[in-house]
Structure 1
Amino acid sequence: MVAPLLPGWPVLFFSHNRWFALVLLGIVGSLVLAWGSSELPRRSALVREKARSLAREKELREELQRAYEERDRLYQEQAQAALTDTVTGLLNHRAFMQRLDEAIARGQTERSGFLLVFLDVDHFKTINDTWGHLAGDEVLRQVAERLRTALHAGDVAARYGGDEFALILDDVPITRAHEEGERLRRIIQSPPYSGPGLGEPTTEVSVTTSIGVAAYGIHGTQPNRLIDQADQAMYQAKLAGRDCVRVTGARTTFPGQMV
């Protein structure tokens, strides 16, 4: 700006590289400043849009993850409900048969044994007739709860049907069949039952069971054979007077008697 006012300014301008560089730098700086002032808002808008897009994408991924988790939870609940008895919370008949097949397959592979126990609530019809079916369901629930406390690791308990329960006692030898049956009988029998539907709050109901036991490998190696043997033993216990244990192949036992 000063150069034109000076005599001989073209020579002065072009003869001094420093002035030329400064002017050129000023021009370039102006251009850069003009580009930056116009480009910066656009770039800022793009950055903000990208941030919003990433945030939305994260939200969608989280929503999708929650949907997958909810789907898995519902599937597990449905699968569990399909294998669980609604009254007792134990395995149902279908699930028990699957577990029995698994126990037999394991026994064949590992050369191990187990006891199949059938358990029937004595005079259950009388309970239903006296106090009603809701009371009968309460008795079944309490029987199931006592069975849970009696189980060891690897054991299985199920409501086989009606007032009949079935158990798989894992890795228990035939020599302990009567002992285990008696243990279950005492756990279920004592203390007396009380609860919703069973008369007044102070009313106590005595519940006994007839128990039949069969041993895998000794009384059969196939599901139908084992079930038939345990069921027959339970029937023999009922014929023997109920409230007792009968082991397949042994004589009928009465309460308090040993096999």
Structure 2
Amino acid sequence: MRQSVNKRTVDAKNIGSVMSALKRKPVPRLSFSGQSRLPQKAASLHQQVDVQGSAPEEIVRRLSASLAGFEVLIVPGLDGSARHHWQSSWQRLFRANGVAVRRVTQANWSKPDYENWVTALVAAVKKSKKPVLLVGHSLGCLLITHAIKKGLLPETVAGALLVAPADVENGPELERYRVAAFSPVPLSPLPFPSVVVGSRNDPWLSVTSARKFARHWSASFVDAGRKGHIGNQSDLGDWLDGLLFLDRLTQTVLLEKTGLSRHQKRVLQ
């Protein structure tokens, strides 16, 4: 397993252009002090969301600039991500705005085979020609942590957004048999910046467990409110909050790569 994120490199040209853009027009920031708190400017951007849940063009434009040096790899969970799932919405949104994005494809979404799923994830990451930002949901988050524990993910992985990680040991009793092969949940630190997003009424993950996972994974934790399992049944559209969470992760990764001092990081954040 990798011990440091400092070994990874991000294209200097891309980082330079992104950091210049950030200095010209700051991107809304989020607090990760154990609760999700949107600053006033981000709150005003929330008010621009239309009735279909589409993300404001300003946020999409800024996030697309931040993601220019990366490839986003979508990692769906149990039963996959339907067309209306936020992961699918993001894939369409990013592709339409010139962001490199792909998703991991599994042979059987309803009956996950542990070894095959891990193999598919590793193969997808290795195809990337840029530093990779993983965007996992539910069992996809556990898949990422298992691959890391096995030391199988290459150093091109720069960060991970882990949304509603499935607590396979304490999830819905009638569903546990389908995910038994992914138990126990790996609790080793992740070797790159990560954000865990939890919901207050998720049948697969209590807030207590979400915080515990984040602590063991050395990840930041965000309380997303009452969003269920934040999946196919949540009807979140483009999920603006999630895009802001991804932006915050991206800025953290960029700051890690540039090797800025703590003082400089505070100024930019």
Q: Hey, which of these two has a bigger chunk of helix by percent?
A: 1
Settle same-fold status: TM greater than 0.5.
no
Larger Rg: 1
TM-score calculated relative to the size of structure 1: 0.23
